[in-house]
Amino acid sequence: MVLYSIDRFEGKFAVCENLSSNEFCNIPKKDLPKGCKEGSIIKYDNNHYYLDNESTKNNQNQVKNLVNNLFKRD
């Protein structure tokens, strides 16, 4: 199983970061599950992509906490 974070969309592709190797790759949009957007975490397993809602939410919370700490918001 491999985890990717969707960085952005360009044309027919999602530009994704492999969360293990930090390398970027292009994944065809047609191969992604419905509901994916920038910042979504997807996992690749058994030749299929799955939206990982729990990891996506955790990642969003981490980013929010980093921004709040940076600007000292509570």
Instruction: Give pTM, 2 decimals.
Output: 0.84
Average pLDDT of the chain to the nearest whole number? 93
| Tens digits of residue pLDDT in 28-58 | 999 999 999 999 999 999 999 999 999 999 9
Amino acid residing at 60: Q
Q: What number of CA atoms fall less than 13 Å from residue 47's CA on the CB side?
A: 0
Q: Which residues lie across from 49 on neighbouring strands?
A: 44
User: In this structure, are strands 13-18 and 48-51 parallel, antiparallel, or unpaired?
Assistant: unpaired
Domains, the chain, in order of start with CATH, read 2-70 (2.40.50)
